[in-house]
A and B are shown apart, each in its own frame.
Chain A
Amino acid sequence: MPQNYVPIFIFIALIGILIPVTLLAAKLVRPDNPHKEKLLPYECGIDPVDRARGRYTVRFYIVAILFVVFDVETIFLFPWAVKFKALGVFGLVEMLVFLLILIVGYIWIWKKGALEWV
């Protein structure tokens, strides 16, 4: 029933009010004595060296790309699993073929070294 989704939005609205109100309340009561040294980014006591948003390893990008591939696959599996008994043997074979293609790809990325983190 579509009306069953209404309470979720009520919940989100309630939190959406509660959180900013908490932050504003804290703003009203807390002390505020900024000082240059106090506001420095934390770097174990020494003055910050170099830019903070520097370059980082390409591995993180690879993980992101792999995530997209496999997560979409998970999304395909969910509705299939729910309707598993209704789809019967056809659905099972179909999904095994799908998984087979996916596993071939998985072995390929493994062999390519995309899963290594050095």
Chain B
Amino acid sequence: MNLTTFIIVSVIKTVIALFVLLTAVAYSVWLERKVVGHIQNRWGPTRVGPFGLLQPLADGAKFLFKEDLIPPHVYKPLYIAAPMLAVMFALTSISVIPIGNVVTIGNIKTPLQITDVNIGLLIVLGITSLGVYGVALAGWSSNSKYSLLGGLRASAQMVSYEISLGLSLVGVLILAGSFSLRAIVDAQAGTFWGFIPRWNIFQGQIIAFFIYLTAAYAETNRVPFDLPEAETELVAGYHTEYSAMKFAMFFMAEYANMITVACLASLLFLGGWHGPLFGPPLLQAILPVFWFGLRVFMFLFIYIWVRGTLPRFRYDQLMAFGWKFLLPMAIANLVITALIVAIRS
């Protein structure tokens, strides 16, 4: 494939991926409102369209037409840059996430992901950890006590849990021997004794899986670790002073981060797009994407379920849990995985 074709294919894939991602973000908001509504014995959105399905569009229009209040004494360059940075880093990490096998359309052979780089996982981790800048800058520049406290809490929490998150992935890296997300998924193909799939979660990484999931909930500032935006004490945390489209950007960033976490969890621990394949060739090409989407949906649903079920931690409990429990567990998991792999080979 020559360079021009490569660029054209990349641009097409980028536009499609961005469209799908933004739609997914909008509808995960709808899903959350609907599911939390039913958990709390309410209906959730019902008025706009059938089952409230057009609610995301109505929300978007409303965000667009709302007055944007900028309080005096904010540090304007950072105040405006913060939501843009947050949403940019949140969306960018999707660019290396694969969603299916390599497909051939006409005479062009292309993987179902924007680009397959051999340090994919490293890029995702790097970009998502930049997300803390959006939060910290928003909290500091807003000139509000709630925002400052929310921003500080969020930064401290995100950096604390990032360590456990990184360490929990080392076991997966040892098993796969590559940073490329595609290679990591390929390493999970096949089954044990013909029926247990060789997903990393069944290869002894189940503790790592739970450490990853817990740390990721804290990274994305979701219940039960949503202290940065604890409504009862900090109003909305770091985005208290934001309104209209700038607020929408923080919102989008949060949901895009959730989707990234769900994608990574499926790719690294649950075998990515592996699943039973059957039927005609076209169906066989689409099924992996379906299996992957199903896993991502499952993780998003668990996110919402947890939100509807669990109470919030206290801040000292949160820090103690991250530093005194998750971190030693992650290190122990990594040492044990290394020893087992070393003994086996």
Which A residues contact B (CB, under 8 angstroms)? Answer: 3-8, 10-12, 14-16, 18-20, 22-23, 25-27, 29-34, 38-44, 48, 52-54, 56, 59-60, 63-64, 66-67, 70-71, 74-75, 77-78, 81-85, 89, 92, 95-96, 99, 103, 106, 110, 115-118
Contact = CB atoms under 8 A, between A and B. Distances in A.
B245 A23 contact: yes
Contact of A14 (B15, B235, B328, B334): B15
A7 B14 contact: yes
Contact of B95 (A11, A52, A66, A96): A11
Interface string B323-345: 11001100100110011011001
Which of B118, B166, B240, B249 gathers the greatest number of chain A CB atoms within 10 Å? B166
Nearest to B115: A7
A63 B145 contact: no
B89 to A, nearest CB: 10
A18 B118 CA distance: 28
Contacts of A77: 166-167, 170, 334
Nearest to A18: B18
Interface stretch (B156-164, B189-197, B280-288): B156-164
Given A11-B14, A82-B179, A26 B244 contact: yes
Contacts of B64: 25-26, 29-30
Given A6-B7, A8-B115, A26-B68, A53 B177 contact: no
B321 to A, nearest CB: 11
Given A7-B114, A8-B117, A95-B338, A19 B173 contact: no
A100 B342 CA distance: 18
Contacts of A39: 69-72
Contact of A74 (B167, B316, B339, B345): B167
Given A10-B14, A48-B145, A64-B159, 8 more contacts: A8-B92, A11-B92, A12-B95, A14-B18, A29-B64, A56-B149, A83-B177, A106-B327
